[in-house]
Amino acid sequence: MKRLFTYELNVSTFNVEQNQKQGNFKSMQAKLNYFKLLNTNVIFVKDILKDYENVTDIKIVNDKNGSLSDFINLVNNFKKEKIFISPIIDLKKLKKTFLNWKNLMSLYSSMTNDKTTQINFNMLESKYILNNIDPNNNIVDLANFILYFDKIINFYNECNVQCFTLVNFEYLLFGSKNINKNLQRLEDLYKMIKRINPNALVILKSSKYNKRVYSQIFKQYKKGKCADYLYVNHFALNGINLDLPYAKIPNFNYAKFLSQYKFLSQSPFFIMSLGSSLCARINSLWGNEQAYNWEAAKTLLLLNLASKSSFGLYYGDELGMLNNIDIKSWDENNINRANEEKRFYESKKIPFDKYSKAKRMLSSDNANNVLKWDNDKKIYEYPLLNSLNSDKNNVENELSNKMSPLQFLLNMNSFFELEGFNKDYDFINIKVKSNLNKNIFIITLDKHVDPKMQVIFVINLANKNNSLLFIKNKLQVVQSSYFNKIYTEIPKKLSPFESIVFIKK
């Protein structure tokens, strides 16, 4: 099975060119070579039909992310380089997506037919049909669900999209206690897509860990298929109380993470991404915003690379991007919502200082910071958000600096390619161990085809020194998160976020 390298981004903030208010499809297309450099196979973007919700003027949409023609050009040009643009379709909001599609068709119809008045389907129907359908309720809802799904998939197929990502698929599985029976619904959706385009990739996206469901989907993949890959990106929520996310800054639960990592790291069928749009920047949450920023970023990249799973990257994580400079800028421009939220936490007897520190650290607004491409010290104005250390954590600086996280990722990609790991994953065994008290992971990959070799990843997730007494074999150092450190022997002590790659041929 092929190991994918995927990249999820926000089109509006991925590449904001000079004199632009936000990024768009054209500015994203301008960075095609960057995606080629990262060996990207799939790029996840939001459902573009969302842009047509309650819109009465096509110019409003075109001035934001770009026109439908811009999107189709993006899809086609990336496909020529074997990179698939994959819109994320929310199955739980399928009716709304369908109404957005009808509105798009109406808007473009009014342009081509020169009509002065057109019914805005989205505004009209959403006024009277507010609730989303639930295919678990009755046969009518199920029939409508299939109709809406078919229209949306056919629309994207006409745009030459060849990779479809379905999120919130879980709610289709819990209509009865028999998950195996309900998996038939996913299999039916899979077959619908394959009938429209036999070469299409179908990816399920999950944001809430459920080993039982994942296991059943994986078994189904081996038997008859209801997905080609399963994309998992919930890790940033580790330790967070989802009912009161800003009650406190959580402690990282290593045991929970290790259990999930062990299961998902066994196959390229699972796409693992540590960062996501669900929470704050992973390098601020788990890494270090100060002296060890780059070492921590490289350690987190290595943790993801070391598994057998497909590699998922959330934009900016390859640079060690941090949280934004000041979350207050968001609050000040959303004053009513901010005040209501503060009152809610006060009602739960959570002190304001505790709440504000947690929000600054955990807010998902941090996930939408602008990615910087050069050393220009420009500060973007709201609603664009600026990340900490963007003068250092930018593409231009990191491509020219051998110690950077981006260069580390490129070097590791070259190593995996050179040693044949990317194509021989069916012949690789993985073992994952951990010393939970010391926050050290030992991950071993054994490749059983030529060139036969063993790769050992020693990953220190702690912001402190740790002893390393359980690696005794004579091994060769390939890479380290500490670029300038020279290893004449296996170290007995690891510095903060010091992670090492050993090989044994």
In tens digits, what is the pLDDT along the chain, a chain of 505 residues? 889 999 999 999 999 998 889 999 999 999 999 999 999 999 999 999 999 999 999 999 999 999 999 999 999 999 999 999 999 999 999 999 999 999 999 998 887 654 433 334 443 333 333 456 677 677 888 889 999 999 999 999 999 999 999 999 998 887 656 777 778 889 999 999 999 999 999 999 998 899 999 999 998 887 778 999 999 999 999 999 999 999 999 998 988 999 999 999 999 999 999 999 999 999 999 999 989 999 999 999 999 999 999 999 999 999 999 999 876 555 555 677 778 888 999 999 999 899 989 998 999 999 999 999 999 888 888 888 999 989 899 999 999 999 999 999 999 999 988 887 777 677 889 999 987 667 889 999 998 887 788 999 999 999 999 988 766 677 889 999 999 999 988 888 999 999 999 998 7
Distance (Å, whole) CA 105 – CA 496: 55
The answer on 265 and 166 residing in a single domain is yes
Q: Which of 400, 419, 443 is the last residue of a domain?
A: 400
Contacts of 127 (CB under 8 A, 6+ apart): none
Handedness of CA 319, 320, 325, 331 (dihedral sign): positive
Q: Which domain holds residue 460?
A: 427-504
The answer to whether position 406 is within a domain reads no
Q: Total domain count for the chain? A: 2
The answer on 302 and 223 residing in a single domain is yes
The answer to whether position 473 is within a domain reads yes
The answer on 498 and 439 residing in a single domain is yes
Distance (Å, whole) CA 187 – CA 227: 8
The answer on 364 and 232 residing in a single domain is yes
Q: Quick check: helix, strand or coil at residue 173? A: coil
Residue-wise burial string across 445-459, b where 16 or more C-beta atoms lie within 10 A, e elsewhere: bebeeeeebebbbbb
Q: Quick check: helix, strand or coil at residue 395? A: helix
The answer to whether position 408 is within a domain reads no
Of 121, 117, 71, which Cα lies nearest the Cα of 96? 121
The answer to whether position 472 is within a domain reads yes
pTM: 0.94
The answer on 134 and 257 residing in a single domain is yes
The answer to whether position 349 is within a domain reads yes
CATH code assigned at 275: 3.20.20.80
The answer to whether position 93 is within a domain reads yes
E-strand ranges in 343-439 read 428-435
Q: Which of 336, 365, 400 is the last residue of a domain?
A: 400
